[in-house]
Amino acid sequence: MRFEQTSAHLVLYFAAARVALALPMLSGLRKSRSNVHWLSQWHTRSILSRWAKAQTSCLLVCVVGSLVGAALGQEFAIENQVTRSSQDGPKTQSVTRTIITPEAFYDVWYDGKEPSEVSVYLISRKQFKLVSFRKTQNTTIDEADVLEFVANVNQTAKSHRDPHVQFAAKPQFVNKSNSAAVHLEHKLWEYTAQLEKPLDQPCLDSYRQFADTFARLNVFWSYPPGARLELNKAIYDRGRLPSRVEVQLNDSNGQPKVSQTTTHRYSWKLQQADRKIVDMTKQAIVEFKPVSFDEFLADR
């Protein structure tokens, strides 16, 4: 999930601000952590200001994770049906797919019936590979750089003028969960997640790792990941997986502003189409033109 979808990948989210977050300062990102000078306070404030200009029209995706460092030996897939609505625009719907393997998590976005973009997290290497089939490009970003960037964003968000940015960096939910569902409530931000049993503990662990990892990656085109990470933990602590997640952002008076509902359908065996996507993505990583992170995000 984008990065949630939901994903690996929580994969919930609104991506209206993705283009605004092209981040031209990231051109040297793939070289090494020592070259990541874009993590300065100035750059972080620049990114947060673009969030404000996007008028809060993007949410976190419903999938993400990085708690378990080793491959977990599980293969399964998740179909994610996403419905978004806001005060400023029409309702939109989309379908993404999350593929979990022992080596990697795949967050798949479609153009019609064909994959248009796949975000991959390589578990043992702790590294992301982003692949665009539309532009025949790929790019690389280390998880360590993502974590460092999240830390800088969280620090700068404390003084941001948008209360949703502040809250996402340091959420303070009231937990009203029960045995059937997770309910996290705040005047600005609400989550409700319906739950179902996982196939086994390794599947639960894999999903949690995916969900947290991609929640952090989504910081490049959405809010800070803190709110989504709180939801991931509340779900995991109950030993369950999310079957339906509703998120609602409210204005300062507590009135609904933006909402998104994501329904997850789990397949405990990979289909032939899933394996084809995995093979296509592996081939694209080798054959497509490698570009800088900012170039990859441009014209998205």
Model pLDDT, residue 179: 85
H or E segment at 55?
none
Dist. CA 296–CA 300, nearest whole Å: 8
Burial class of 116 by CB neighbour count within 10 A (0 to 12, 13 to 18, 19+): middle
Dist. CA 69–CA 212, nearest whole Å: 12
Dist. CA 123–CA 127, nearest whole Å: 7
| 253, 236 contact by CB (below 8 A) | no
Question: Chunked in runs of 10, what are the mean pLDDT values of the chain (300 residues)?
Answer: 35 31 34 33 41 38 35 81 88 95 97 94 98 97 97 94 95 94 97 97 97 96 96 97 97 90 97 97 98 88
Helix residue ranges, H only, 20-113:
41-53
**pTM of this structure:** 0.78
Bridge pairing between strands 289-290 and 114-122? unpaired
